[in-house]
Amino acid sequence: MNHYKTISAFAQAAGNKPPEHPLFSILYGDKNDHWEGHVAFTADFYIIGFKQLQSGSMLYGKTKYDHDLGKMSFIKPRQHVTFKDIRLEEACCLILIHEDYLSGTPLHNDIKKYHYFEYDVNEALHLTPSEEETIWALMRTMDKECRNNTDDYSKDIIISHLDTLLKYAQRFYKRQFINRAEITGAVATKFNNLLVAYFDKQNDKSSGLPTVGSLAQKLNLSPRYLSDLLRQETGKTALELIHLYLISEAKNLLKEGQLNINEISFSLGFENPNYFSRLFKRTVGVSPHVFREQNLN
């Protein structure tokens, strides 16, 4: 697998000229460009792709990235990417941003907050015609600023437009979640069913607590993408929903009165009863002991 430390090396491998700036570049491709065979790589820079595939596939991590009608994809540094027999349906471009280019700017930290860079499973960003024009306009402005009359203001202007592009992508993804609610097939219901099944089959107390990662894997989703979908459907993250389920089960066991607090804690998968008690009090407002007394009297 190739690893590209520099944007220049990546551009050369893609058949492009060396970039104007070593840490920031926008590369363009033509309709029907064809990348034959199996191309796998990692890189020390962010890659934002704006394209639609006519055929072929892209793997982000170990899972196929859904590009059906999708326009944009987002890859963070050092993620495994694989292209298989890519043929473009239309003109495309790649925005390449080295981590060092963001150093000393607010975007160095802010870019890490955008969850769509973490989607090692799931879908590309679909764009409406007006959204597409918004993204193209921002890319053209950044490209022009990068290529012409570079001065002391150029980087600040590029960073500002890049920040705007990322914010628009966040907005468009949120719209996509809403529009595709029926397609997601009630993720919250599937998620809750997995929790029920987990505890129904949990005869071995050493299984521990269910994790967001393990449940996301069963749904063929990445943890962050799962949390985004659940937040859209329920207003709660995956971890918050796990905690709420645990507390609901704990309330039931406390009301039954057959197990003591430590036994309830271990039966739910908590290794530390004190952690269970803190979580219960933070969620319910009273300790398990007080809750039991209130409901047994």
Q: What is the CATH number of the domain that holds 192?
A: 1.10.10.60
| Cα angle 287, 290, 295; round to 5 | 125
**Same domain for 200 and 143:** no
Is beta strand 53-60 parallel, antiparallel or unpaired with respect to 63-64? antiparallel
Measured between alpha carbons, how far is residue 224 from residues 91, 116, 232 in Å?
30, 8, 12
Residue that is written with structure tokens 């999708």 in the block: 70
Structural contact between residues 160 and 153, judged by C-beta atoms closer than 8 angstroms: no
Number of domains in the chain: 2
**Final residue belonging to a domain, choices 161, 179, 197:** 179
**Same domain for 193 and 110:** no
DSSP for 47-58 reads EEEE--EEEEEE
What mean pLDDT do residues 142-150 have? 85
**Same domain for 150 and 59:** yes
Q: Over pLDDT 90: what percentage of the chain?
A: 32
> Binning pLDDT at 50, 70 and 90, where does residue 181 land?
low
Pairwise CA distance, residues 6 & 44, whole Å: 7
Q: Name the β-bridge partners of 222.
A: none
Structural contact between residues 91 and 45, judged by C-beta atoms closer than 8 angstroms: no
What pLDDT, in 10s, does the model give residues 196-215?
888 876 544 556 888 999 99
Q: What pLDDT, on the 0 to 100 scale, is given for residue 38?
A: 77
What mean pLDDT do residues 156-166 have? 96
- CB 286: neighbour CB atoms within 10 A? 13
Report the amino acid identity of residue 189. Answer: T
| Helix axis angle, 238-256 to 288-296, nearest 10° | 40
pTM: 0.67
**Same domain for 217 and 169:** no
5 vs 66, which has greater pLDDT?
Answer: 5
CATH number, position 166: 2.60.120
Q: What pLDDT, on the 0 to 100 scale, is given for residue 290?
A: 92
92 vs 143, which has greater pLDDT?
Answer: 143
Pairwise CA distance, residues 141 & 48, whole Å: 16
Residues of the domain holding 281: 187-296
Pairwise CA distance, residues 250 & 265, whole Å: 8
Q: What pLDDT, on the 0 to 100 scale, is given for residue 31?
A: 67
**Same domain for 165 and 62:** yes
